[in-house]
Structure formats: structure tokens, C-alpha cells
Chain A
Amino acid sequence: MAVGKEIKTQIASIKNTQKITSAMEMVAASKMKKAQNRMLASRPYSEKISKVIGHLTYAHSEFEHPYMKEAGDVKRVGIIIVSSDRGLCGGLNTNLFRSLLKQVADYQAKGIEVDICTIGKKATAFFKNLGLNIKSVLTDLGDTPHFDDLLGTVKVMLDAYDEGEIQQLSVAYNRFENTMTQVPTVAQLVPMVAGEVDDMDHHWDYIYEPDAEEALNALLVRYIEALVYQGLVENIACEQSSRMISMKSATDNAGDMVQELELVYNKARQAAITQEISEIVSGASAV
């Protein structure tokens, strides 16, 4: 029937889209489980290392590592931004970028410059348009990032800190609260913020091997890498769950649209039939 040809095509195309979104939802759901497990598996390391750092802030070490000293005047800060490589995951990246932009604006209002390091294609594309100074980039990590992948990227920023180019370094990522909520988070890496440890007030210090500088350096670099890695795996878990939810709602919306369009189509068809009958009837009565 000639009637409603356009509507029919539209319904068909929406149905195709629906198929894609529901497939993506299912893929994201299965990946989410794995990503969450990975996130949970890497938690003990970062929790334990944070605890040791907590102890360390209470140890009365003769050697004071630069990462633990409060930098005097902050003129330039570094931010490591963790984002996803792919889109179609709801407002995940946008929410993070929005909260970051506010912070960057705050810094700039105070005359502090911002250097950034981007992980993931989305952050790279977004921040290079803003004209901020990108110091290092890491993309195409896939769903299973390796600890090794991060080393270079983090080193660039730590080197900049060592050389006094930047006086503060933070990491920005989406913290995984639960499947429904992801919280954009900015955490300061260096100089380190002292953790809370009770029962550590008496005067004591570690025995360091081979020496204080080397042991502390190894520990602190690993601590920072562990935090960034943790941010990265949390962000991946967030990405998958956020994609699952947004694809679910896209599938639902497509269903609603198809229903509405079918109603319109049926009405048009009925109207056409009624018209045809009345034409036949009036034609017959004229004979």
C-alpha cells in the first residue's frame, strides 16, 4: 500500500538501531562483570600501599623525599585525565570533563597554569581543542590495561615534578560507586596528603635497604602508579556500566518510538481504507 511508506521505513530503521543498541547493552553487561572483577582484584594493592604510605608519614625519617614535602609556591599543576577510548557511554566522559573544566578555570583565575596528560581518546580529543598543554598521551588500552602501559605516561609527569616544572600532580577519573552511579573524582598524587593512622605517635623509623632514598623512591613511584592504575581500571568499570545503562535506555526509547509510529501508521492506513470505501460507495450510488 502506498500509504505510510515513509512511516514504514522509519519504523524499520528504528528497529535496526534498536537491535544495535540492545546488542551493545548485552556486550557491555558481560564486559562490566569482568571489569568489576579486575577493579576489585587490584584494590588490595592500592589499599595496602596507601596504608604503608600512611605509616611512612608518621615515621621520623631523616631523609625527606621531594614527593612528601609540601611545595611552596604553586605556579603550574599537572593533571592526569583518565577517559574512555570509545563513546556511547552516556554522560560519563562529559561529566568528568565538565568538573575538570571548572577546576581548570579556578586554577587559571589564580594565575596557575595547567599541564595535562590524557589517557583515552576522548580526553585527548577534548582537551587538545581547549589549547591546554598536553604533555603525554596514552590511548588504545582496550578493556584489559596492563600496569606496564602506564609507566611511561606517569613517568613524564613525575619527571616534570622532579624538575620543578609542575608543583602539584593530580589524577582525574570516574570513581565506581555502583552500577548506577559513577562519581567524577580528582585526587591529588603529589605532594602526598598524609593519611590517617592511629597508634603511631611514638618516635620510630624504618630500617631502609639499600638506603632511604632508593627504598622511598621505589615505594613512592609505585604508589603513584598504583593510584593511576586503580583510577584507570575503575574508569573502565564505569565505562562499561554506564554504557550498559545508556544502551538500555536507548533500546527502551527505540521501543517507545516504534510503538508510537505504529499507532500513527495504523491510523493512516485505517483512514485510507475508510476513504476508499466511501469513494466506492459514493461511486456505486452515483451509477
Chain B
Amino acid sequence: MSTIHVDVVSATESLYSGEANCVFAPGSTGELGIYPKHVALLSTLKPGEVRVETDKGVESIYVSGGIVEVQPNVVTIFSDTAIRAHDLDESKALEAKQRAEEAMADSDNGHDVGTTQAALAEAMAQLQMISKMRGKKL
């Protein structure tokens, strides 16, 4: 019986990689059973169990959503590590924007270490340039 190569990866680690007889994945429109020579397919996944059936037994991996790509001899499953929801992402984006505004707002604050260091580095570079132009080493 022919086999199909299966990779299950998440952003932080590789969860499974190897040959399998068939794979089952929780597609967003229903359970997908993938056998070798499956037609090319790209589907989103909903949270659930990915089952990889090999000669040695069944490997079961939980995914909290993600994407599956099927090529005739390769199945790649991208598992999400983050819990995704539209409004959750939205609020995170807002937070990031807010931080940007805060950072821009206190640009006059001379007590900020980072700002002071940046200013110092600039001054040092200028001094070095001046001494170079005078042909002397600082």
C-alpha cells in the first residue's frame, strides 16, 4: 500500500513528521479523510483531533484550528498556537496602536533611558566624526 508523507507543525515546534497510510483532519466544513494521491486541497481547520494512521498504529494530535494543505503525496498541517477570533485580534491591534501613540507622545521626555542613550550615541558619532576630520584620534 502506498503511503503519504505527513507533517504536522505549529509555530513553536514540529509535532509530527513521517509516512502514513492515511490522515484524518477536522476540516472547517467537515471531517477530512486523506489517502495517498488525494487531489490538491487547501482548507482551514477547526479545533479538533488530527489522526495519523501508520503501520505502527494511530498517532493522535490535538489542533486548536489551523490550515491543511494537501498535495498528492504530501500533507502539511499548520496548527495554530494562538486562539484566534476576529474581535480578539482587533483588540490586540488597538493595543499595539495605543502603545505607538504613547511612545510618540513622550518623545520629549528626557528621562527615558532609551532616548537618552540614542542621543548619546548620536553625540558620540558626531564627536568621532569631528575628530576624524581634524585628523586626530579621540
Contacts and interface: CB of A to CB of B under 8 A. Distances in A.
Q: Do A and B come from one complex?
A: yes
A240 to B, nearest CB: 18
A155 B11 contact: no
Contacts of B41: 206-209
A283 B14 CA distance: 86
Contacts of A148: 81-83, 92
A49 interface: yes
A280 to B, nearest CB: 44
B11 A42 contact: yes
A44 B9 contact: yes
Contact of B104 (A41, A122, A128, A138): A128
A49 B77 CA distance: 9
Interface of B is mostly: mixed
Contact of B67 (A136, A218, A225): A218
A209 B96 contact: no
A185 interface: no
Interface in B86-128: 89-97, 99-100, 102-104, 107, 112, 114-115, 117-119, 121
Contact of B14 (A41, A56, A87, A134): A41
Contacts of B93: 136, 151-153, 155-156, 159
Listed residue (A87, A155, A226) with the most chain B CB atoms within 10 angstroms of its CB: A155
B42 interface: yes
B117 A52 contact: no
Contacts of A48: 7, 9, 76, 78
Contacts of A229: 11
B117 A87 contact: yes
A237 to B, nearest CB: 14
Contacts of B9: 44-45, 48
B64 to A, nearest CB: 12
Given A147-B12, A208-B42, A210-B29, A136 B96 contact: yes
Contacts of A204: 40
Interface string A136-171: 111100000011100111011001000000000000
